[in-house]
Amino acid sequence: MTTDRRASLAFGLVLILVPIYVGRIQELVPYLDVLHIAKISMILGLVALGLTADTLRTYNRSLFSIPQVKIMEAIYILGLIGIPFSIWPGGSLDYLINGLLKLLLFIYLLIACTSTEEDMVKVLWSFVLCMMILAFVGIIAPSLKAGRVYASGTYDPNDMALALVLALPLMYYMAERYAGWKKLLLIGGMFLTLLIIIKTGSRGGFLALVSAAAAVFFEKGLSFTLKRIPIIAVVVMVMLTIAPQQQIERLTHMFDKDYNTTAKGGREEIWKRGVNLMLHNPIVGIGIGQFTVANGKMEGGTWNTAHNSYIQIGAELGLPGIALFIMLIRKSFLSLREAEDILKEVWIIKGLRAGFYGLCVGMIFLSWAYSFPTYFMFGLCIVIRKIHLNAVRAGEGVIHSDVSTYIAKERPI
């Protein structure tokens, strides 16, 4: 097998890993998950990357100098350092080995094997298509939790709503970019995605959706937004008509007092306990992956997750953990902004940025500090940064899709 073919194989496995680890589509087919296709695909991907490391070295020589990569490494090291001080050391060790390590290996494969804009487009298609499949299954064969729709064993209604929000701006910009059947597919996917987000009844997901949409409209400008008000009104009316009334009422009364503000297991009380945990364990935290245990053992506590990514990582890894997490978000936004003048496919940056705004809002309501969708977004920003640095190194040119060559402008760095 030639080195180019090996590189293509490694990247092809990344395209398979995205729907497996981010979309969890194997969980949509009964008994398919027990075949361990996620582990098998991961092992094959790592082997393929090892076989083609020489071929990709030129692309990846600046990879470990990218700030986000260093920050992810620091988060893992913080988790290791905190094991002896964890409320449950064995649980933290297990989480690092079977949870966070698997996540970081997936991200490493993604950022090491995705080297060009053409590669990025394929990865985004893989992501968008698997989200469309989740939305489609949510229509034809939904799982229900108190009348709220979801479509996998990993994602509950709130998780599913935010995962779909991440894909929606990309669908929009891709629909602008493409024509013909691809455009029709993307428009249909957008409609299904919007409908399922409403049917999940996720109030955090809805706020994330509003944030992502606001980012798109802000980027497009006031004139564009005003001209689309009639279209927006029609879409809203259609959604209000076909979505379940129960979920519409959940969304329209999202700021009313309910169990989240009155019950011990409500978000407000959990957040207060989480902040307490953070302030009482500011240096090393309570141990990675141990928020639920610590919450349950507190006086008046409940065995619930943090329901807030920032409080989750702050409590588990201390103030250094939340500082690193915020730095990771900030550096990701900077990577997108700095690459705008380099990438030909600028819609990639616009779609990712809008999705990131939705993610930042959605993480206020979900324990996504170490989730695959969260780090998938971080990983895509790292790839953008890598492409940017390689283009600058090649003379601020455009990186050709061939694995071993650059096409650069005749201009000095």
Please give the pLDDT value at position 244: 73
Strand locations in 138-210, DSSP E? 143-145, 148-150
- The label of the residue with tokens 């970081």 reads 104
pLDDT-above-90 percentage for the chain: 60
* pTM (2 d.p.): 0.91
Which of 222, 181, 170, 118 shows the shortest CA–CA distance to 359?
170
Within-domain flag for 315? no
Termini Cα distance of the chain: 36
pLDDT band, very low/low/confident/very high, at 324 (cuts 50, 70, 90): very high
Average pLDDT value for the chain? 87
Within-domain flag for 403? no
Question: Domain range holding 346?
Answer: 3-248+325-393
The C-alpha atoms of residue 38 and residue 345 are separated, in whole angstroms, by: 30
Q: Assign 3-class secondary structure to 77-138.
A: HHHHHCHHHCCCHHHHHHHHHHHHHHHHHHHHHHHHHCCCHHHHHHHHHHHHHHHHHHHHHH
Any idea what the Cα angle at residue 236 is, between residues 168 and 360, rounded to 5°?
40
- Tokens at 140, concatenated: 């034809």
Within-domain flag for 288? no
Per-residue model confidence as pLDDT tens digits over 367-395: 999 999 999 999 999 999 999 888 887 76
Any idea what the Cα angle at residue 113 is, between residues 154 and 349, rounded to 5°?
75
For residue 407, the tally of other CB atoms under 10 A from its CB is: 12
Per-residue model confidence as pLDDT tens digits over 11-52: 999 999 999 999 999 888 877 777 788 888 889 888 888 888
Span 334-354, mean pLDDT? Answer: 92
Please give the pLDDT value at position 51: 81
Within-domain flag for 284? no
Within-domain flag for 99? yes
pLDDT-above-70 percentage for the chain: 89
Within-domain flag for 353? yes
Helices and strands counted in the chain (H then E): 19, 2
- Tokens at 311, concatenated: 């409080």
The C-alpha atoms of residue 208 and residue 360 are separated, in whole angstroms, by: 8
Per-residue model confidence as pLDDT tens digits over 215-226: 999 998 888 878
Within-domain flag for 399? no
The total number of structural domains that make up the chain: 1
What Cα–Cα distance (Å) separates residue 370 from each residue in 123, 310, 385? Answer: 21, 11, 21
Please give the pLDDT value at position 290: 96
Within-domain flag for 303? no
Output 41-45 pairs: Cβ under 8 A, ≥24 positions apart. Answer: 41/13, 41/16, 41/17, 42/17, 42/102, 42/105, 42/106, 42/109, 44/13, 45/10, 45/13, 45/14, 45/17, 45/109, 45/113
Exposure on the CB side of residue 259, measured as CA atoms within 13 A: 4
Are 78 and 324 contacting, i.e. CB atoms less than 8 angstroms apart? yes
Q: Please spell the DSSP secondary structure of 265-316, one letter per residue.
A: TSHHHHHHHHHHHHHHSTTT-S-TT-HHHHHHHSTT--S---S-HHHHHHHH
Bridge partners, 398 (sequence order): 407
Helix 157-177 to helix 180-200 angle (10° resolution) is: 160
| Largest Cα–Cα separation, the chain | 68
Per-residue model confidence as pLDDT tens digits over 171-210: 999 999 999 999 999 999 999 999 999 999 898 999 999 9
